[in-house]
A and B are shown apart, each in its own frame.
Chain A
């Protein structure tokens, strides 16, 4: 493949969501819209190497996709297209693709449709990755450790529901935009975390899903520059992503924060994360994503584990606990307190959590946190016992191996 062809493919791919967003709105059928856009991309790959890319690639692709959609609708009468839809498509197809005006940006509307609350959360995630990111069904299936047939079926069901129940391809009106946007951010947060935590399989960090989460979060931040939580989520994902090279050791084992090689942190990405967080906080409407972003930035900015501002992080977790009460947030706060005010202060908080939250009592994270703080306090026997408990409770695989590794690293 020649360099110019590759750059043409890149140019085309970057327009995928923009073109699909317009087509989906036109025909109100994601499956048909995808097929039509796919056809337009194939046509572009045939034409563009000969003629050069048009001045407005998205506009060109949109007209060609509209023609493809129209052909498919006429061919397959069972599609039950409304006469109005056909008429509008006919009009919009008359334009010369090379002369077509710039298309309006409908990507936010597309995101709102994909992340509509009437779809199950897993359907929302799958649909967003397929439709907005343009990942293949196979790629999405791999990312969620499921087989391609299951994922294909999930996508078909989701698209059918969008079409049949007529989920709108419009940016919701002001009174509903907050709710819709919070659903979109929730889906992106989940996507990023799924990639970051890599719960279901052998590789601990699936960079692709993280990278896709970052890309989508940046897109939403770009589309909604006056939404502090949108900026906050973008900052949060970038700050975590900046540490990706340091998170996994040569042996494939995940490297705990205090042992990470800070020289591997991506400073340019950290600067972007901080800039987004500054812009978010300037809008003066705090929210959980901004607080999590502040925590992630505090970790990414620390020159060494010792120089981490644990007092700041503890106060941020306290703020987060007020916004989104959760025993896991309390647990993180306790660890931060332990690292800022001394291990025993943290252990006292952890023991209280142990008593008050049945959910945590049986969770490996509580016991590994206790183990870590006992280790720092120089109490080897207690640390060993807590690691034992954590290992017994941890899911088999990477997490358990990491804990065994840490237990083995205790001083004799």
Chain B
């Protein structure tokens, strides 16, 4: 079973390596990677640069509209994500509990729709 683990934190914070929270959150992410490995949960993912680097694309009636900035202005910004393979929701909630974002922002866990081949 695959879950998307979406990491949110305050929009005013600078994400990416130049932000001060980067080094603060790093040990928790390294520990997270280790926990996943110990349990044999496969995972992938990436931290994201600030929402200010975001670009949105919409095509309506064949017209391409490209805008600067995030899809929606929110108090919290998405600043990273994981895809985690885990047996059930409790297992994911368990391994994500020590993430920096769980303590300073929000961790959203959402099940991924299984690929047709898995069915």
Interface residues of A (CB under 8 A from B): 80-82, 116, 118, 164-168, 170, 172, 176
Say yes or no: A164 contacts B111, CB within 8 Å.
yes
Say yes or no: B1 contacts A166, CB within 8 Å.
yes
Give Cα distance in the complex from A81 to B119, angstroms: 6
Say yes or no: B89 contacts A166, CB within 8 Å.
yes
Using CB atoms, name the residue of chain A closest to B116.
A80
How many interface contacts (CB-CB < 8 Å) are there between A and B?
31
Q: Is B52 among interface residues, defined by CB-CB distance under 8 A?
A: no
Say yes or no: A165 contacts B90, CB within 8 Å.
no
Q: Is B48 among interface residues, defined by CB-CB distance under 8 A?
A: no
Using CB atoms, name the residue of chain B closest to A166.
B88
Residues of A within 8 A of B1 (CB): 166
The 10 A-B residue pairs with the shortest CB-CB distance, nearest first, are A168-B88, A80-B119, A165-B111, A166-B88, A165-B89, A164-B111, A166-B1, A167-B89, A168-B90, A166-B89
Q: A164-B111, A165-B109, A165-B110 are in contact. Are A176 and B119 (CB under 8 A)?
A: no
Q: Is B114 among interface residues, defined by CB-CB distance under 8 A?
A: yes
Residues of B within 8 A of A168 (CB): 87-91
Give Cα distance in the complex from A170 to B87, angstroms: 12
Residues of A within 8 A of B89 (CB): 116, 118, 165-168
Give Cα distance in the complex from A176 to B91, angstroms: 11
Residues of B within 8 A of A118 (CB): 89, 93
Q: Is B73 among interface residues, defined by CB-CB distance under 8 A?
A: no
Interface residues of B (CB under 8 A from A): 1, 3, 87-91, 93-94, 109-111, 114, 118-119
Interface of B is mostly: mixed
Using CB atoms, name the residue of chain B closest to A77.
B119
Residues of B within 8 A of A170 (CB): 88
Using CB atoms, name the residue of chain B closest to A117.
B93
Give Cα distance in the complex from A164 to B2, angstroms: 10
Say yes or no: B118 contacts A82, CB within 8 Å.
yes
Residues of A within 8 A of B110 (CB): 165
Using CB atoms, name the residue of chain A closest to B93.
A118
Using CB atoms, name the residue of chain B closest to A79.
B119
Say yes or no: A176 contacts B109, CB within 8 Å.
no
Give Cα distance in the complex from A308 to B48, angstroms: 65
Give Cα distance in the complex from A165 to B1, angstroms: 9
> What is the CB-to-nearest-CB distance from B88 to chain A, in angstroms, rounded to a whole number?
4
Residues of A within 8 A of B88 (CB): 166-168, 170
- Could you list 6 examples of A-B contacts with CB < 8 Å? A80-B119, A118-B93, A165-B109, A165-B111, A170-B88, A172-B90
Residues of A within 8 A of B87 (CB): 166, 168
Give Cα distance in the complex from A116 to B90, angstroms: 9
Residues of B within 8 A of A80 (CB): 114, 119
Say yes or no: B118 contacts A166, CB within 8 Å.
no
Give Cα distance in the complex from A274 to B110, angstroms: 45
Residues of B within 8 A of A81 (CB): 119
Residues of B within 8 A of A172 (CB): 90
> What is the CB-to-nearest-CB distance from B5 to chain A, in angstroms, rounded to a whole number?
12
> What is the CB-to-nearest-CB distance from A76 to chain B, in angstroms, rounded to a whole number?
12
> What is the CB-to-nearest-CB distance from B10 to chain A, in angstroms, rounded to a whole number?
24
